[in-house]
Amino acid sequence: MTDLPIGPAVDTAARPLPGRVKLRGTYVELEPLHVRHAADLWRAAETGTARGDASWAYLGYGPFASEAAITAFVADFAAVHDSYAWAVRPVATGQVSGWLTLMNVEPKNSAAEIGNIWLAPCMQRTRAATEAMFLALRLVGDDLGYRRLVWKCNALNAPSMRAAERLGFTFEGVHRAHLVVKGRLRDTAWFSMTGDEWPRARDSILAWLAPDNFAPDGTALRGMAELRAAQAG
């Protein structure tokens, strides 16, 4: 034995890999991404482009010039073996309007990242968007019992950083000059949530999504941070 600090002992059992299964919520469904979703995704992307959509600005791909181009991308993206991609289908419209992935999944370290999130403008800042991310987090945090959930983004992407903090992630720091994306140098902001932090985040997200948290016009009555603080108090 050593007298040096070496960290707490943990359950070393490898966690299961996420399954490519449908995840159902109240406002949204996540379906394993497939090339059959491309037509819906093109319509959602094309509408966004007409509105001056900036949703592709911080991603390593897009925007796409044609339905054929997004179809080819989706076919490749859905077939990647080291990440798990879902199409996002809001219940209100029935039209697939985005995707997200679980990536950098490390069963032995009990760690997984939610990332590669693209949501069309029509989905942004909606209950469906929040629930889509929640369903993926609940899969790894509750169903599979992972100890570390990760969110990372371009350090210039203020909306993504706000979204991470809103969901309950903690800012860890910035990897400087981390990547080159679309010919530009990228600093990467890292966020995490540990297994013992997840239940509080989960409960605040569920409280925010509850129908009684919304006024008749759809405005949330209480924000996620306020709900989290109320639970802590």
**pLDDT for residue 110:** 97
b/e burial code for range 164-176 (CB count within 10 A of at least 16 → b): bebbbbeeeeeee
Regions of the chain where pLDDT drops below 70: 1, 48-52, 233
DSSP state of 140: I
Q: 23-232, which class in CATH?
A: alpha beta
**pLDDT for residue 48:** 57
pLDDT (tens digit, 9 = 90+) per residue, 137-165? 999 999 999 999 999 999 999 999 999 99
* Three-state secondary-structure class, residue 19: coil
**pLDDT for residue 201:** 96
**pLDDT for residue 3:** 85
**pLDDT for residue 230:** 86
105 in Cβ contact with 112 (< 8 Å): yes
**pLDDT for residue 47:** 76
Specify the pTM.
0.95
**pLDDT for residue 229:** 87
Give me the half-sphere count of Cα atoms (radius 13 Å) on the Cβ side of residue 224.
20
